Chain A
Amino acid sequence: MQDHVQRLIQEKVVRETQAKTRRHFIKSCTQGMGGLALSSIFMGCDPLEKPKAKNPMAFSERDLNPLATLAPPFAPKVKSVIYLHMAGAPSQLEMFDYKPQLQKYHGQDCPQSLLEGKKFAFIKGTPKLMGPQAEFKQEGESGNWVSNFMPHFKKVVDEVAFLKAVHTDQFNHGPAQLFMHTGSARLGRPSIGAWATYGLGSPNQNLPGFVVLTSGGNTPDAGKSVWGSGFLPSVYQGVQCRSKGDPVLYIEDPEGMTRDLKKSTIDAINKINKEEYTKYADPEILARINQYEMAYRMQIAVPEVMNINNEPENVQQMYGVEPGKESFANNCLLARKLVEDGVRFVQLFDWGWDTHGNVREGSIDLGLRNKCREIDRPIAALILDLKQRGLLDETLVVWGGEFGRTPMQENRGNKKMAYKGRDHHGDAFTMWMAGGGIKKGVCHGKTDDIGFSGIEGRVSVHDIHATILHLLGFDHEQFTYEFQGRHFRLTDVEGELIKEILA
């Protein structure tokens, strides 16, 4: 039986071969060649598919060390970014956006035309307008307005570029913070710091590339996703360090574990890993070896850089640090030290800016003033300190909240509140930037007479992201990551460079 089948097959092959003429061959050649040509035109079935490396053993430096530096596409203006986020949304109307007309309308009903079609977090019915609760003065050579809530800030006002008409489409803290830091109000996108570290790496091999410091007694409402890596490899997420206690949890060796013992443990693990590598040639193994070694080095480097006690007395005083405590001042000083040591992105969050007027700490005339005092000196000190060390030219400092606050007094539940407060407001709020590549002392954008909406130079959250990436040497439209079959950008399909504040 078996033989029979074999013979049949044999015969079929012979017949076919005989039947096939040169013409058949040439005909099928043309189809084959055409197909080949087409496939190169259409780049195979998956246009995003990258050509396979010719030599599977040739790894890039990135395969071995995910934080290895890469050159940006264009010459960068800055090497590092310090992003100061006031979580809870600071009131622009008491800090930088002076609205004398609003004082005139103080206590009057807000015009219906402004309220139509708008959503507020808490305001109900017809709220009353509330004039600025701070005194303003024009400061510095630029003559930009600064309130008496920020008395030290006037010393650095000529260094910063104000954006007076930033807008966002979110009016709740969590989504707005996510939007501000990841370019999307929904979870899952990488934060700016993750994009920056992914795109550029970090030169210091003993420190993380992206460090997060928090103060104000709480972390941002949006949770750790605001410094997350989203769909980027998780090695690019922010490393949260604490300014009180161990800077990184479990960084100290446990009792009884000496440094030598630790070293020999890691050496033993790495030796096994290297054997694995010679067997399977998987670059992930090399990356793992690298990570162990970096962690070992970080045990020394991180506590060193996070120790502010060794800073000279006058520097400590300038920032107003409180060693041993968790404070924004400490974090500002740490931010300078980290940037000085080559950390790519330092993200500071200060919590407690949500001034609705429901409690004393959350009031525009009392609590807000305390918060301003807590950041005023440290921020001025940070900018001056960066400047005198020659670091301000290669660092970008960004300040802002996730949105602004209403020109109307909040009337939660349509009742008069215990304290003066303002509700969430995304139509127009103030942010500023300072440092390399930024035009000093400019003021871009303008709000209407009561500070409700931007009327000139409105910029979106995407525009701010585009500008930050530009200063780091990227075109935000070209800087992409491939995920689930499409190229993702920090700015999605939007974002325009804010040229008016670029030097």
Chain B
Amino acid sequence: MDVLKQVLGRLHPLIVHLPIGFIILGLLLQWYDRKRKEYGKVIPLVYLWGGISAALACVTGYLQYLGEGYAFDTVKWHLWSGIATALFAFLMYARLKEIRQVDFLSKVPIVVLSAFFFVLISFTGHKGGNITHGEDYLVEPLPNHIKSALGFETFEEKVIALNEENWQDAVMYDDIINPILNNNCVSCHGPKKTKGELQLHNPEVILKGGENGEIIVTGNSETSELYTRLVLPKNDEDHMPPKDKRQPTPEEIELIRAWLNIGNPFEGTIGDLGIEKELFLSFFPKKHDADYPDIQISAASQDTINGIKNKGFHVENISKASNFLEVSCINMPSFTDSDFEFILPIREQIAILDLGGTQITDAIFEKLATLPNLTVLKLDATAITGKDMELLASLEHLKSINFTGSLLEEIYLHNLVEFKKLEVAYVFGTQIQGEGVRTLNEGQIIIDYGNYELPPIPSDSIIY
């Protein structure tokens, strides 16, 4: 019997278009026939059919409401207005057939009745559409500001933000699990829609489960549907969320699993529950790992940049999303210390500076110290010895210096320990002796001496 209920119920979206068609046809015919009055016999008949099919739609609609687990609140307007539509169709039939019992209606002009009927069926159809497609179906493609101006709620994502300091203080359910369920599940399993009779927006309803019973087996994720449905293959009919909907990330799924395995506690911080840190790393702020400082600066004007380019410099934005610049003398081997003034207008924006192969001397260090955001510096194949290099220690972002093939002297090399953010210095091809990699400042700074070797081995000369 239940099966029959469901099958008939699912016919509702099909059958429902019959009364719509008939009634609209009736209304159109009334309008078309307003002067000629040639279709007087047909119109009531059309409304009769409309009424009968509307009644059928009401029955199947009710069955669908029972069979598919909609909350009454969701369907009530559609349900009542649907019944009203069916009744009104019969009324129209009676009015047009001038049946005596409805004499009271004859005082109302037919135009008013038709107009009301049109409003009624539009309203009913709209409410039905809202149930299947969602209330924001029509407005969804609109930009957010128009949506909010029209008074529609925009989907509110609950952001999960943790960091190195606070991650242990976050409450596992409130700050992690609830946002994950909210962002991925609650649009269908929540107060507005309750598919499969399941809601996931608060602890009580989560524990209650859905039409197939509870979804959590305490302490066992592998038998809890709240987890197993997530990890089914995407094409599986039972996979949740449905494959065309937003999917939780692998890290989020792992957290659901971990939470279920410790008995789905609704209270207690991550620290109290003793959950391992690795699981939360994806919610930590991304470490800035790029060749420019992690700050915002204003852009240099295009005219300024073009002027510098015309002098022979290579100047390019690090990316379209960043105002920091890379400047190189790759096409300008004649660059000398005094040419530095050309790039002063963009001193704030320079993050990468390549002076490799130019005519610079140690006097350049004083000038380089005026580039506040310098991050990567290349001085390879130049005549610098490293004297006055300590002036660069004040640069807050300097991460990498390349001295390869320069005249760098060992006595100045140790000045690098003063450099706060320096990560690596390349000194291969200078007079400095050494091989491989050594570190300074307890491993903070890597000095790459290079001089790697591939000693000959017997197999080098064996020809097969």
Contacts and interface: CB of A to CB of B under 8 A. Distances in A.
Q: Do A and B bind each other?
A: yes
Contacts of A370: 463-464
A100 interface: no
A71 B320 contact: yes
B453 interface: yes
Contacts of A206: 331
Contacts of B464: 365-367, 369-370
Contacts of A365: 464
Contact of A71 (B319, B331, B378, B452): B319
Interface string B393-409: 00000001010100000
Contacts, number: 95
Nearest to B316: A69
Contacts of A341: 330
A340 B314 CA distance: 15
Interface string B425-464: 0101100000000000000000011111110010110111
Contacts of A71: 316-320
Tell me the dominant secondary structure on chain B's binding face: loop
B459 A151 contact: yes
Contact of A390 (B400, B451, B463): B400
Interface residues of A, number: 39
A395 to B, nearest CB: 13
Given A206-B331, A342-B330, A377-B460, A75 B290 contact: yes
A390 B429 CA distance: 12
A409 to B, nearest CB: 18
Interface string A302-345: 00000000000010001010000000000000000000011000
B247 to A, nearest CB: 14
B454 A381 contact: yes
A373 interface: yes
A74 B319 contact: yes
Interface string B314-335: 1011111110000010110000
A204 interface: yes
B452 A387 contact: yes
Given A320-B460, A373-B460, A72 B319 contact: yes
Given A74-B321, A381-B454, A390 B402 contact: yes
Contacts of B400: 390, 393
A270 interface: no
A207 B400 CA distance: 27
A442 interface: no
B330 A318 contact: no
A320 B456 CA distance: 10
B195 to A, nearest CB: 30
B63 interface: no
A152 B404 CA distance: 25
A205 B380 CA distance: 20
Interface in B39-98: none
Contacts of A70: 316
For A70, A71, A155, A503, which residue has the most chain B Cβ atoms within 10 angstroms?
A: A71
Contacts of B328: 203, 342
A75 to B, nearest CB: 4
A155 to B, nearest CB: 7
Nearest to A319: B454
Contacts of A390: 378, 380, 400, 402, 404, 424, 426, 448
A99 to B, nearest CB: 22
Contacts of B291: 75
What 4 A-B pairs have minimum CB-CB distances, sorted nearest first?
Answer: A388-B450, A71-B317, A384-B452, A390-B426
Interface of B: 289-292, 314, 316-322, 328, 330-331, 378, 380, 400, 402, 404, 424, 426, 428-429, 448-454, 457, 459-460, 462-464
22 contacts: A69-B314, A72-B319, A72-B320, A73-B320, A74-B320, A74-B321, A75-B290, A75-B318, A75-B319, A152-B457, A203-B330, A320-B460, A341-B330, A377-B454, A388-B451, A388-B452, A389-B402, A389-B428, A389-B450, A390-B378, A390-B402, A393-B400
Interface of A: 69-76, 148, 151-152, 155, 203-206, 314, 318, 320, 341-342, 365-367, 369-370, 373, 377, 380-381, 384-385, 387-390, 393, 473, 503
